[in-house]
Amino acid sequence: MMAENLEKQMSIPDFEDLVLNEAIKSTADKVKVMQVNLGRLCNLACKHCHLAAGPNRTEIMSREVLEACLEVYQKQGFSTIDITGGAPEMNPHFEWFLNEAGKICNHVIVRTNLVILLEKKYQHLTALYAGKKIELVCSLPYYRADRMDKVRGEGTFEGAVKVMQILNGIGYGVDPDLVLNVVYNPAGAFFPPVQESMEKEYKQKLGDLYGISFNHLFAITNNPTGRFKAFLEKSGNFTNYMNKLYHAFNSATLPVMMCRFQLSIGYDGRLYDCDFNQAAGFAVKTGETIFDMVGKDYLRRRIFFGNHCYACTAGQGSSCGGTTE
């Protein structure tokens, strides 16, 4: 109820009213990325998490849903399988799905929080990733312990550094075939710096202090959903943050919004235009599930927009792959 009242108090227009080109209100002629969210279970409970993932979450994608994802991938001609969570490694079917995905897809991404790979149960995955040439996208909110631990929990920075050093040791961030990318999120209700300059700063600091190398940094604007939205409401910053996003709206980012080029699948098989819509509970307008798509050809779909979409179009734009402009 409080969130609804805050939405009504804002003077900003509905996001969709700013999308003047009718073609941009639908997905592109070809959708490239199938993003599969294996569940909300996670070993961490990060303050900025738009899905409010954590150790007490019970939502886990079943083998049945994963099998349907593979069938749809082959039929509809995607080029990338992007595996996320929660901590996707904690799904009991994760390794099976990774193996099956590698048989049909040449570009498989796993989004990891790094520290999960220190746990005995998951330590072997680093070698598995390297053997299958999985692209890793790791979340590293900052290159200093005090800032990162404040967001993710005590000791998480030290653990992340250790895992990145292990990954460097087996070729990640060094071998051209073993891509290691880093994600930066602001620690509060402000925008990320320019991505190029932040990447340079991260590379210098992590290299000088810890001997770490990586490929690229993705700067992502915090989306006002999930745990971050709750933080904004509790701190009285929700309206100000939404106004800030609106006033930074950049229409040039609209044609390349990630929702136009991907399909996001929730743990229960429901379909979304993106992971942020999944967090907001905005399923695709057609109401389909992954099972409804089995055996069918790709058809363009109308995108479900909400005011949280302002986060993807502010400034240089923002997506799961960093800035869009």
Q: Where are the beta strands (DSSP E) in the chain?
A: 33-37, 80-84, 108-112, 135-139, 180-184, 217-219, 262-265, 271-272
Question: Would you tell me which CATH number, out of the four given (1.10.8.100, 3.40.50.720, 3.20.20.70, 2.170.120.12), belongs to the domain 10-312?
Answer: 3.20.20.70
111, two tokens: 């989004």
DSSP state string for 153-176 = -TTHHHHHHHHHHHHHHTTTTTST
Cβ(48)–Cβ(93) below 8 Å: no
Its pTM surpasses 0.85: yes
* Residue among 101, 51, 63 at smallest CA distance from 81: 101
Segments making up each domain of the chain, as ranges: 10-312
Residue 184 per-residue DSSP state = E
260, two tokens: 């136009």
pLDDT digit of tens for each residue in the chain (325 aa)? 444 444 545 589 999 999 999 999 999 999 999 999 999 999 988 877 888 889 999 999 999 999 999 999 999 989 999 999 999 999 999 999 999 999 999 999 999 999 999 999 999 999 999 999 999 999 887 777 777 777 777 878 899 999 999 999 999 999 999 999 999 888 778 888 899 999 999 999 999 999 999 999 999 899 999 888 998 999 999 999 999 999 999 999 999 999 999 999 999 999 999 999 999 999 999 999 999 999 999 999 999 999 999 999 998 888 887 777 6
Type of residue numbered 72? V
